[in-house]
């Protein structure tokens, strides 16, 4: 019995019960996956409420769906942040680093990015089938607004600032790393805000929504999926930024920086494909 109790209090074995381990980095039992999963579930409920709250036969108020969805996104991001903290940050000072482990994590990120590319590819294939028919399928909204070039520049520059930050860390310049990584977080946040404003303009002023025909589903499916990736990327970059401010990185200890950079550069590249194939092609071609 005493051995079991020791295993439960020193972070080994089964860990403490859920709710008693934060912020200590025990092996198991955490509320954060529950929070993240609950946020995702609420997000889906919000999307469902948004769909049934439209039209003359709406069964719920139109404003209810977006509010619930925002709450779900907040829960998802909060849970993800806490989960990552619990898994990667709290025990940083006592955890040893191994080159083999770092390579394994980088390879795992590569596999994730491959699956992510496949996910985006499915959306582009759907859009390709739409373009194969009569074009345009319905009247298109004004897609080439002032938001598009600004957002494109923001995301493109963010990859540059992230690279500059990483180079600073490799050279042992922590202040440069922190400064330019903070700029990257800001640029990513502004992109998300710009996309939210673009959605407002399209939905509120032009009446173009997810339910506006097959092009509406393709447009919001691809840009929304990408926007969620950017939002999650901002969360990851913010986590790296906080860890950097705490002095948790060095030139030879930067696995998290490498993996998050890989993710961010992919998200950046996908955006340019979306701009060319969805915005420019749909409007000009």
Beta partners for 253? 250
Q: Domain limits at 114? A: 100-285
CB 190 within 8 A of CB 154: yes
How far separated are the first and last CA of the chain, in Å rounded?
Answer: 73
The rounded average pLDDT for each run of 10 residues, N- to C-terminus, in the chain (285 residues) is 41 44 51 84 88 80 89 87 70 60 73 87 86 73 88 95 93 91 96 93 82 82 91 89 83 83 94 90 70
> Given this model, what pLDDT does residue 6 score?
41
Reading the block at residue 198, the tokens are: 């673009």
17 assigned to some structural domain: no
Q: Does residue 72 lie in a domain region?
A: no
Radius of gyration, alpha carbons of the chain: 22
118 within domain boundaries: yes
Q: What is the pLDDT of residues 129-142, one digit of tens each?
A: 887 767 767 777 78
pLDDT for residue 90: 64
Residue 58 maps to a domain: no
Strand, coil or helix: 177: helix
In a domain, 55, yes or no: no
Whether residue 249 lies inside any domain: the answer is yes
Residue 152's domain is classified under what CATH number? 1.20.120.80
At 195 the pLDDT is 94
Per the structure, how many domains does the chain have?
1
C-alpha 110: how far from its chain's center? 16
The tens digit of pLDDT for each residue in 57-80 reads: 778 888 888 899 999 989 988 887
What is residue 265's predicted lDDT score, i.e. its pLDDT? 94
């Amino acid at each position: 019995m005493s051995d079991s109790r020791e295993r439960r209090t020193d972070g080994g074995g089964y860990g403490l019960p859920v709710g008693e381990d934060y912020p200590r980095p025990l092996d198991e039992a955490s509320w954060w996956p529950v929070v993240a999963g609950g946020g995702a579930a609420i997000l889906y409920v919000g999307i469902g409420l948004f769909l049934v709250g439209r039209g003359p036969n709406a069964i719920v108020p139109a404003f209810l769906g977006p509010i619930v969805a925002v709450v779900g996104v907040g829960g998802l991001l909060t849970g993800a942040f806490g989960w990552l903290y619990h898994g990667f940050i709290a025990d940083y000072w006592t955890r040893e680093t191994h080159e083999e482990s770092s390579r394994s994590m980088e390879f795992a990120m590569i596999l994730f990015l491959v699956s992510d590319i496949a996910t985006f590819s499915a959306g582009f294939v759907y859009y390709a089938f739409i373009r194969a028919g009569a074009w345009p399928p319905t009247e298109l909204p004004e897609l080439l607004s002032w938001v598009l070039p600004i957002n494109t520049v923001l995301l493109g520059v963010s990859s540059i600032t992230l690279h500059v930050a990483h180079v600073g860390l490799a050279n042992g310049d922590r202040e440069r790393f922190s400064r330019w990584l903070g700029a990257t977080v800001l640029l990513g946040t502004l992109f998300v805000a710009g996309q939210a404003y673009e959605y407002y303009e399209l939905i509120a002023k032009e009446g173009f929504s997810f339910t506006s025909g097959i092009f509406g589903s393709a447009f919001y499916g691809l840009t929304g999926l990408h926007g969620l990736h950017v939002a999650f990327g901002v969360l990851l970059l913010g986590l790296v930024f906080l860890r950097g401010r705490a002095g948790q990185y060095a030139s030879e200890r930067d696995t998290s920086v490498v993996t998050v950079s890989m993710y961010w550069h992919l998200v950046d590249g996908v955006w340019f494909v979306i701009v060319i194939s969805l915005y420019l092609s749909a409007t000009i071609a």
